[in-house]
Homo-oligomer: A and B are copies of this chain.
Amino acid sequence: MMYWQEEIETMNRSDLEELQLKRLKKTIESAKNSSHYGKLFSELNITSENIHSLDDLRKIPFTTKDDLRNCYPFGMASIPLKDCVRIHSSSGTTGNPTVVLHSKKDLDEWANQVARCMYMVGLRDTDVFQNTSGYGMFTGGLGFQYGAEKLGALTVPAAAGNTKRQIKFITDFGTTCLHIIPSYATRLAEVFYELGIDPRKETKLKTICIGAEPHSEEQRKRIEQLLGVKAYNCFGMSEMNGPGVAFECTEQNGLHIWEDYVIVEIIDPVTLEPVPDGTIGELVLTTINREAMPLFRYRTRDLTRIIPGTCPCGRTHKRLDRFKGRSDDMIILKGVNIFPIQIEKILMNFKELANNYLITIETVGNSDEMQVEVEISDLFTDDYSTLQKLSKNITHQLKDELLITPRLKLVAKGSLPVQEGKAIRVRDLRKF
């Protein structure tokens, strides 16, 4: 058996879209019971009868994180609270927390989504799955726990922390699969080698599910080599339950997003219009298989694109590309959408450059201009003509990527401001 649910996973697109439409209508019916959507749908005269095609979804306004906050705690519930069996709440470090409610059926469907993902990367009931996530409110804990149990794997609910204990569990219980964040996977490998244990030879590890933290293809490869495993990218967010929304298959080329659970849109975060497949934009999701708290056209703020074409694995559900950052980071310059990560990607390709850079946008005369300052590496030359050649080369590549030409300034190492915590990469000094 190649698939957890072959019929669903390999369903032809027209049947899948028909299923989506049916579920969308049903979801609209039940969402009328929530105080938020009830009011909205009645104002806009949205009923399941008015939705004739998936395109009609666009009659419904977007839902944002602010909507969720304004509905705190239970304004989004579409069923009575007595029929809900779990709350997951964000920490609410900035503003009101957001809350997601689940019915028994919702938890079972969520577990099914996760089991489907795990099965897709080759895990079976003979596997031993160790979860290094925190539990409690963090959805990576209970989400993977229920999914792995549904799959029938032997679960080791190790929870976060205590690396030596994690390693004891891995070796003693014959753990074959870990759920782990990428930075911790690297740390785990280090401790393995410190203890004189070669995880590639002296454990049964073969698969790891990495998520919750952005990471590059290079980082994935490094983790795979250190631990002797295949590492699969997983995407989840608590507003969409948690883990299991999208997951790589063994092709490791894009994350299948389960379209029997969500309707996917990719929009231009400025015009809010759909972008064609292959173009980067903001991921917008509509739940069509959740009863306690459906969300319509939820703006995830995550930037990605649909990978065009079909996947050799046979699954027909669309593939999301590796995430490109957050739409909040987007810069609009001369009508062009620019993401800092596009600039970073180019700069990081030059060995001559150090890690620190700063993007400044300012109004010069009647025009808005971009300046990119980047530190050069300690070991690099101070020969003027070499520097000029380098500068030209970088500028050329930036122009190719961004479609505008920034002013590039190579500066000495240590001359850009150093920030504590998350680096500030963009200064916008424009006069609006």
User: Which residues from chain A sit less than 8 Å from chain B, CB to CB?
Assistant: 72-73, 81-89, 91, 101, 104, 107, 125-126, 128, 134-137, 141-142, 145, 148-149, 152-160, 165, 169, 172-173
Known: A135-B135, A172-B73. A82 touches B125 (CB 8 A): yes
For A149, give its contact among B88, B104, B125 (CB under 8 Å). Answer: B104
Q: Which residues of B contact A165 (CB under 8 A)?
A: 91
A396→B136 CA distance, assembly (Å):
52
Please determine whether B149 and A86 come into contact, CB atoms closer than 8 angstroms.
yes
A251 to B: closest C-beta gap in Å: 27
Please determine whether A149 and B89 come into contact, CB atoms closer than 8 angstroms.
no
7 shortest interchain CB distances as A-B pairs? A136-B159, A135-B135, A85-B149, A82-B126, A86-B155, A136-B157, A82-B125
Please determine whether A154 and B87 come into contact, CB atoms closer than 8 angstroms.
yes
Q: Counting chain B CB atoms within 10 Å of each CB, which of A83, A85, A158, A165 scores highest?
A: A85
A82 to B: closest C-beta gap in Å: 5
| Chain B, Cβ-Cβ closest to A145 | B142
A165→B85 CA distance, assembly (Å):
20
A152→B107 CA distance, assembly (Å):
12
A134→B136 CA distance, assembly (Å):
8
A134→B135 CA distance, assembly (Å):
8
Known: A87-B173, A135-B136. A107 touches B157 (CB 8 A): no
A131 to B: closest C-beta gap in Å: 8
For A152, give its contact among B82, B91, B152 (CB under 8 Å). Answer: B82
